[in-house]
């Protein structure tokens, strides 16, 4: 585990008191990746494969830093998802190989991304029990970001659609995006409750517009999503997602 990951893990497990949540909400919005199903661990395995593929050109730590740099450059242009990862890996490999990318490296990168796209699908423990308990009492909505095609494919593959009213694949998860989401559902910002693992995407922007959030920590945090937990009595941190029903019912 990298030092940054360990730091984020400690921050995510800080305790936080919060106002009683019962009878406050009609809707609950759920993040998807690493909240409902596993995601980041598969990207870390893809990074390890990429490091092995480029081992003759760079050590694993330097390669990972270069890959993260390329990802940060590409996200504003190409968005989130495995396609952007493909571009980032290709950009990093091109730089390391001096602009002349060997065919075996390119085909190796494509295989890594193909394996990433079709990885084993794993629902996080406690998710289905939580949704079963909540779906009759609240309108549940998946609020995720990324490539629409990829996220919709995951949603259908998950088998969880029976519990949700629908899914929103957001362009990003900024304060503006959450205000638009609230308006779309005829909610005031203070009527929003967001559940998710990412402080940067699922917690901080919702708190900043006056909403409420429940943080469900995940042991692996994407570098792009790392930030300190805001101080707010509108945040609750749970150890497991199936702790949520007792907070709301």
Give the whole-angstrom CA distance, residue 178 versus residue 182: 6
Parse the chain into domains and list their residue ranges.
Answer: 3-37+123-248, 41-117
CATH class, range 41-117: mainly alpha
pLDDT tens for each residue of the chain, 249 residues long: 333 333 333 333 343 445 689 999 999 999 999 999 998 888 889 889 999 999 888 877 788 888 888 888 888 888 777 888 889 999 999 998 888 889 999 999 999 998 888 888 999 999 999 999 999 999 999 999 988 988 999 999 999 999 999 999 998 999 999 999 999 999 999 999 999 999 999 999 999 999 999 999 887 666 666 678 999 999 999 999 999 999 999
Cα–Cα distance measured from residue 181 to residue 49, given in angstroms and rounded to the nearest whole number: 37
Q: What is the 3-state secondary structure (H, E, C) of 111-156?
A: HHHHHHHCCCCCECCCHHHHHHHHCCCCEEEEEEECCHHHHHHHHH
Fold of 3-37+123-248: Rossmann fold (3.40.50)
88: DSSP letter: H
Tell me how far apart the alpha carbons of residues 154 and 110 are, in angstroms, rounded to a whole number: 20
Cα 7 from chain centroid (whole Å): 17
- 82 near 150, Cβ under 8 Å? yes
């Amino acid at each position: 585990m990298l030092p940054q990951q360990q730091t984020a893990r400690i921050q995510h497990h800080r305790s936080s008191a919060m106002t009683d949540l019962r009878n406050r909400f009609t809707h609950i919005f759920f993040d998807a990746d690493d909240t409902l199903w596993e995601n980041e661990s598969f990207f870390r395995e893809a990074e390890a494969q990429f490091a092995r593929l480029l081992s003759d050109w760079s050590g694993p730590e330097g390669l990972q830093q270069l890959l993260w740099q390329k990802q940060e450059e590409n996200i504003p242009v190409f968005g989130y998802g495995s396609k952007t990862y493909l571009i980032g890996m290709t950009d990093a490999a091109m730089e390391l190989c001096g602009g002349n990318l060997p065919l075996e490296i390119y085909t190796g990168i494509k295989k890594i991304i193909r394996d990433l796209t079709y990885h084993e699908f794993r629902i996080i423990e406690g998710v289905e029990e939580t949704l079963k308990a909540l779906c009759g009492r609240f309108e549940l909505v998946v609020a995720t970001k990324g490539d629409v095609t990829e996220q919709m494919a995951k949603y259908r593959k998950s088998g969880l659609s029976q519990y949700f009213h629908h899914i929103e694949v957001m362009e990003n998860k900024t304060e503006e995006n959450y205000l638009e989401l609230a308006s779309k559902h005829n909610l005031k910002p203070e009527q929003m409750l967001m559940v998710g693992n990412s402080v940067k995407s699922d917690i901080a922007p919702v708190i900043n517009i006056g909403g409420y959030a429940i943080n469900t920590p995940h042991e692996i945090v994407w570098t792009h999503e790392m930030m300190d937990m805001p101080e707010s009595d509108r945040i609750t941190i749970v150890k497991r997602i199936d702790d949520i029903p007792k907070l709301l019912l």
